Amino acid sequence: MRARGGFPDIRVRLPEEPFPPPSNSRSRDELQQGLEELAGRMAELAGRIPAAGGSDGDIGAAPGGRIEHGWFGWLDAREWLELAGMHFRHHLRQQRELEQFHSKEGSL
């Protein structure tokens, strides 16, 4: 999956999350702005996480510092950021698919 840079085109079910799903009440412009802000925050974090096996930077510098993910197992800070990027791109792909579907249906 890391070699592909994205998720396979399959559906997986993770354990229930401790947080409720987000509200769908925001406008398209608000959602677009939120995506842009998220991309900026991810870029900022990428500069603060050391390369795999590195010890500098101020996030994830503890050797062997890992947190368990329900599907992918134990990940370090760099792997979590890579996973977040893949997840972000996955949702952008879903958005494109929905927009294509709705444009064919005349719903947009």
| Residue 48 placed within a domain | no
CB contact at 8 A, 99 and 108: yes
Residue 61: what pLDDT?
A: 47
3-state secondary structure of 7: coil
Residue 15: what pLDDT?
A: 67
pTM over 0.85, yes/no: no
Closest CA to 68 of 20, 15, 107, 4: 15
Full domain range(s) for residue 94: 66-108
| Residue 49 placed within a domain | no
Q: CA of 96: how far to CAs of 37, 84, 102, in Å? A: 19, 19, 10
Report the sign of the C-alpha dihedral through residues 10, 97, 7, 19, in that order: negative
Residue 18: what pLDDT?
A: 66
Positions of the chain with pLDDT lower than 50, given as ranges: 56-58, 61
| Residue 81 placed within a domain | yes
| Residue 51 placed within a domain | no
The total number of structural domains in the chain stands at: 1
| Residue 93 placed within a domain | yes
